[in-house]
Amino acid sequence: MTPVNESLSPFIELVSLRLIPLLQQKDEGESALEEIAPEQVSKAAETVMGSLEKIWSNFLSHTPYIIAAFMVLIVTWIAVFVLRRIGARFFQRATSRKSLQDLFARLLTIATWLIGLLFTAMVLFPELTPARVLGAVGLFSVAIGFAFKDIFENFFAGILILWNFPFEEGDVIQCEGILGRVEAVEVRNTMIRKVTGELVVVPNLFLFKNPCEILTDRIKRRVSIIVGVAYHEDVSRSVEVIEKAVETCKTVRQDDPIQVFPHGFGDSSIDIEITWWTGSIPLAIRESTGEVVTAVKKALNEAGIEIPFPYRTLTFKEPLTLHQEDEGIA
């Protein structure tokens, strides 16, 4: 029993055994309060005053512990500030990834505060021992683990993503239909800004379990398109004209190979595949594709090479008689 409960126990006993039964008695013409003797009222007042004095005395006796606990909190705050400064320099040398540096700094801050609060509790309540505190923390951790299973799964997945995965803030990724730029990698979620402008909050466990394409892992990317030329055109000449047109495009990387090959027989044309290298971000790919399409179309037109519309050839097994009606002239 705590000192506060011990000091209040006489008052509680007086109220429960003497005053409450008297208040429950209701005689005609008399109030229940009139049956309380002056001595009992005086005794109750003395009990209350004694309880308050004991509470104040206990507070004064615990004042050194309160001051010491407050000092521990101040020391913990200073330690967090100093360790963050030292840790920031160390983490910058250990890894160049900004997101991983932020994770280490956050974990260091949390660990320092937990240790500081543990010492504060032990100073404020001397009856607490490290064994009791660690036992309580262990039981509390198990209960929290079962209650927040999904949160902790995403937390550890976020740590693994920051530690092992090759993408970080600024990369363009695609995962299960989500395409966009990574704006932030947090310990629980990853913020992805889609190419259409929406911000998607993706749980880290989702990215960890599913295949993820990192589109900007390299500074360049290969792009392919198909163009068709008519069947009566010279395929070799068409390939030469297309290749020269692609070489003139500014968005095409000239130090990487440009490949132009006949691809197959289409319904209305010989299909030719054009492959080249350009920047890896989506905007660079769209710009380069537009420039190549425009240049190829212009070059084929200037060379007199037909890009046919879809058409069909009808074959009749028997001769077909055609009749033409003469139109009257007004």
Q: Same domain for 19 and 106?
A: yes
> Which range in 67-76, 103-112, 158-167 is most confidently predicted, on average pLDDT?
67-76
CATH of the domain at 268: 3.30.70.100
Q: Same domain for 11 and 118?
A: yes
pLDDT for 26: 47
Give Dmax (Cα) for the chain.
136
Instruction: Name the pLDDT band for 50 (thresholds 50, 70, 90).
Output: low
Average pLDDT, the chain: 78
Nearest 5°: the CA angle 179, 183, 189 is 85
Q: Which two tokens stand for residue 316?
A: 């009749």
Instruction: Please state the rounded mean pLDDT for residues 268-277.
Output: 94
Looking at the structure of the chain, the number of domains it has is 3
Q: Which two tokens stand for residue 99?
A: 């997101």
Q: Same domain for 102 and 182?
A: no
DSSP 8-class letter at 97: -
Q: Which two tokens stand for residue 217?
A: 């892992």
Instruction: Please state the rounded mean pLDDT for residues 236-261.
Output: 94
Q: Same domain for 59 and 101?
A: yes
Q: Which residues span the domain enclosing 40?
A: 3-25+32-124
The answer to whether residue 315 is domain-embedded is no
Instruction: Please state the rounded mean pLDDT for residues 131-151.
Output: 64
Q: Same domain for 8 and 117?
A: yes
Contact criterion met (CB below 8 Å) for 265 and 258: no
CATH of the domain at 197: 2.30.30.60
Q: Same domain for 194 and 225?
A: no
197 φ/ψ sector (left φ>0, alpha ψ -120 to 50, else beta): left
Is this model's pTM higher than 0.85 or not? no
Q: Same domain for 18 and 99?
A: yes
- Nearest in space to 279 (alpha carbons), one of 212, 196, 215, 225: 215
Residue 232's H or E segment, with its range, is none
The answer to whether residue 133 is domain-embedded is no
